[in-house]
Amino acid sequence: MPAMPTTGDFVVGDFMFCEHGNEYCHDCPRDFRPGNNPSDWLEISEQLRNLPEEQQERVLERLDDDVRVPLRVYNFGIDTSRSKDGDPIFSCLKHSIDDCEDCFDFPKHILQSVGIKA
């Protein structure tokens, strides 16, 4: 069951993170992976759709909520100490762009972590 947001939780790039910047946190404890995962990985990845069915199944198993490696937003950017609609504005580490659509495209990073080019 997806974690419900509480005070201190925030959204970056449409993904929810705990106050520590984690998608899954032992300290809180919070696990936002079920709510963050796209409902259909095949819909967002042409490369994944084009894999043989058996290989698709193996990759999809690695993308399962309880299995996939959780994200830490601070690996991608820094909090600018500014906010928009109650959520912090993050600036990416790579380009120093606020709310960078490339760096904070978390589904893309998740797919890349299992060897799928997004």
**DSSP letters spanning the chain:** -PPPP-TT-EEETTEEE-TTSBSEETTTTEE-HHHHS-S-HHHH-HHHHTS-HHHHHHHHHHTSTTTSPPPBGGGTEEEEEEEETTEEEEEETTT--BT-TTTT-HHHHHHHHTT---
pTM attached to this predicted model: 0.84
Q: Where are the domains of the chain?
A: 9-114
Q: Does residue 6 have a pLDDT over 80?
A: no
* pLDDT confidence tier of residue 92, bands split at 50, 70 and 90: very high
How confident is the model at residue 66, as a pLDDT? 84
